[in-house]
Structures are given as C-alpha cells and as structure tokens.
C-alpha cells in the first residue's frame, strides 16, 4: 500500500486536567492596526504603549461569539483521491455592542473602512486570543438596530472576517492585566 507524503508531524495532544475545560464569555475586543508594535501580547506596558500610540483600540462591555470557521475547498491536485482538498478557512468573529451613541456611530462607520487584526478577551478565563492571519481582517458593522419595543436595547451587530491558510491558528495568551477589563 502506498500513501502520499506526510507533510506534518503532529505535536502532542494535551488533555485538560480535572475536567478544567475553558468557557466562552467574550466581553472585550481589541482592534489592532497592522503597524502596531506589540512584542509581547501578555505585557500590559506593550499594550498600553500601542493604545497611547493610537494603533490599538479596545472595545469593552460587549458580547462576542467566535463561531466555527467554514472550510474553503478547491480542486484536489491529485488524480486519485478525493475530488476536493482543503485550501484554508473563512473565519469570523461577531459581537454585539449596546453602547449606541453618536460617537460610536462614527467609530463603527470608520471601522467599516479599516483593515487590521483583532484580539478577543475571554472574561472567565483571563485570556486573549490574537487573530493575525497572513491577510488582514475586514470589518462589517451595519447601522445600529432599534427594536420595536421600548424595553429592548438598540445594538450594533458587528463582524470581523478573514481568510486563514491551513497551517495558521489564532494564538492564545494570558491577558495583560488591566487592559481588557
């Protein structure tokens, strides 16, 4: 039996000790300019310097969701085998921001024209996941929606979206103290 060349050696799979599985709960996001200078994503001083320089903006008090990425398939280059092969992933992150006001209308209108990177903050885990794929992230934030009833809240429904190659995965770090919360 002949097998195609193995292109990767898998690292060890790690089992979470004592059923200590990570929870969701994303309460902040960072919008990161492509030229932001953050050498250490766990360093509060690196983050603060980038915020002061205007190359990072933190959006707090949100509700975010990091859904499953969708596979991007193309024609398999080999005649014998599956008709399609995995070429990469289309990823996205969505969030709801209930901080509707005129200033944030301007913020989100400008964000629609921006490209960059993001970091999301898991509030239960005190961790961030940094999304810096080989291509830049695009944003889509339609106008704030207003519900029919006067007991429901107006909200911005925002999306960040990107294409990622097969071997890229967003990195997980300990959150820098005082930056995202």
Please list the pLDDT of the chain residue by residue as tens digits (181 residues): 344 567 778 888 888 888 888 888 999 999 999 999 999 999 999 999 999 999 999 999 999 999 999 999 999 988 888 999 999 999 999 999 999 999 999 999 999 999 999 999 999 999 999 999 888 999 999 999 999 999 999 999 999 999 999 889 999 999 999 999 8
Whether residue 16 lies inside any domain: the answer is no
Whether residue 10 lies inside any domain: the answer is no
Determine the structural domain holding residue 125 and report its residue range.
24-174
Whether residue 7 lies inside any domain: the answer is no
Whether residue 18 lies inside any domain: the answer is no
Whether residue 82 lies inside any domain: the answer is yes
Largest distance between two CA atoms of the chain: 68
Whether residue 180 lies inside any domain: the answer is no
- Give the chain's domain count: 1
Whether residue 94 lies inside any domain: the answer is yes
pTM recorded for the entire structure: 0.88
Whether residue 118 lies inside any domain: the answer is yes
């Amino acid at each position: 039996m002949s097998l195609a060349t193995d292109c990767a050696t898998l690292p060890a799979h790690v089992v979470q000790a004592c059923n200590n599985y990570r929870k969701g709960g994303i309460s902040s996001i960072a919008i990161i300019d492509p030229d932001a200078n953050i050498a250490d994503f766990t360093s509060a001083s690196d983050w603060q310097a980038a915020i002061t320089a205007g190359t990072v903006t933190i959006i707090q008090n949100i509700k975010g969701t990091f859904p499953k990425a969708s596979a991007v398939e193309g024609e398999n280059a080999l005649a014998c085998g599956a008709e399609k092969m995995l070429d990469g992933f289309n990823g996205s992150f969505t969030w709801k921001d209930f901080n509707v006001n005129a200033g944030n209308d301007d913020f989100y209108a400008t964000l629609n024209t921006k490209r960059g990177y993001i970091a999301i903050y898991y509030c239960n885990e005190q961790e961030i996941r940094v999304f810096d794929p080989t291509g830049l992230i695009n944003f889509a934030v339609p106008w704030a929606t207003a519900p029919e009833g006067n007991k429901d809240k107006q909200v911005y429904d925002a999306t960040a979206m990107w294409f990622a190659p097969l071997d890229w995965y967003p990195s997980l770090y300990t959150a820098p103290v005082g930056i995202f919360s």
